[in-house]
Amino acid sequence: MIYLKNRKVMSDRMRTLKYAILGLINRGSMTGYDLMKVFNMELVNFWYAKHSQIYPELKKLSDEGLITYETVLQGEKLEKKLYSLTEAGKEAFLNWLAKQDLLEPTPKDIFRLKSYFIESMTKEEILSQFNYQLDQRKEKLKKLEATMIEHPYAKGIIDIVTPEYGDYIVLKGAIMREITYIDWLTECINEIKNY
């Protein structure tokens, strides 16, 4: 009945970057550059994107009527685009947020993959590999904990209906995850050492 030329429906897939951007702009107007910084500094523990992905996505969201921008000057000549949500954009974001999701596939992990192949390594190689990972993970945990002690929530402010509460719970989750990874590495190292 319907001729399938130009079938643009094709299902929306996940489009997670789309909603991540909408959610961030919902917190307040931002430029593409701002988004890039937030992704790669604040959200980096659960989502991120390069500017080469962000700028085309912003273009697309504009075309879809979910965001608009005004051009503002930074200094004398430098133009930047300050994006805000449209009503449609806000609605799209809230619908995405409220939707209940099935578990995603378990994230891929190259080091776990290498661990799976552990029999093809010598004891020295194994310990060297695990210790190298352990050092890096400990370093990472240290940074996360340093961020945490600076956080208003760690200082006893308890209001759940603020953006800071979201920041706080995902940071706490990142720390717990990191500690568990370290525990796993440590247990493996001890077991292998004593073999």
Binding to DNA in span 19-38, by CB under 7 A: 31-34, 36-37
Q: Hey, what amino acid is at 37?
A: K
| DSSP three-state, residue 82 | strand
Q: Quick one: what does residue 33 bind among DNA, a copy of itself, none, with the CB cut-off 5 to 8 Å set by partner type?
A: DNA
Binding string, 102-121, against a copy of itself, x = CB under 8 A?
A: xxxxxxxxxxxxxxxxxxxx
Q: If binding means CB under 7 A, how many residues of this protein chain bind DNA?
A: 34
**Residue linked to tokens 């996940």:** 14
Nearer to a copy of itself, 34 or 167 (CB): 167
**39: nearest Cα among 56, 59, 24:** 24
Cα distance between residue 26 and residue 46, in whole Å: 18
Distance CA 49, CA 51 (A): 7
Q: Which of 53, 88, 91, 97 binds a copy of itself (CB under 8 A)?
A: 97
Of residues 89, 87, 83, 103, the one with CA closest to residue 29:
83
Nearer to DNA among residue 80 and residue 114 (C-beta)? 80
Contacts of 23 (CB under 8 A, 6+ apart): 93, 97
Nearer to DNA, 51 or 151 (CB): 51
- Give the one entry of a copy of itself, DNA, none that residue 93 binds, where binding means its C-beta sits below a cut-off of 5 to 8 angstroms depending on kind: a copy of itself
Q: What angle, rounded to 10 degrees, do the helices at 87-98 and 16-27 form? A: 120
Q: Which does 174 bind (CB under 5 to 8 A by kind): DNA, a copy of itself, none?
A: a copy of itself
Pick out residues in 127-166 that bind a copy of itself (CB under 8 A): 128-129, 132-133, 136-137, 140, 158, 160-163, 165-166
- Regarding 78 and contact with DNA (CB under 7 A), the answer is yes
**Per-residue CA distances from 25 to 41, 86, 144, 154 (Å):** 16, 10, 25, 26
Out of 3, 77, 122, 161, the only residue in the binding site for DNA (CB under 7 A) is 77
- The enclosing H or E element of 96 equals helix 87-98
One residue of 21, 22, 58, 85 binding DNA per CB under 7 A = 58
**Interacting residues toward DNA by CB under 7 A:** 10-11, 13-17, 31-34, 36-37, 48-53, 55-56, 58-59, 73-81, 105, 108
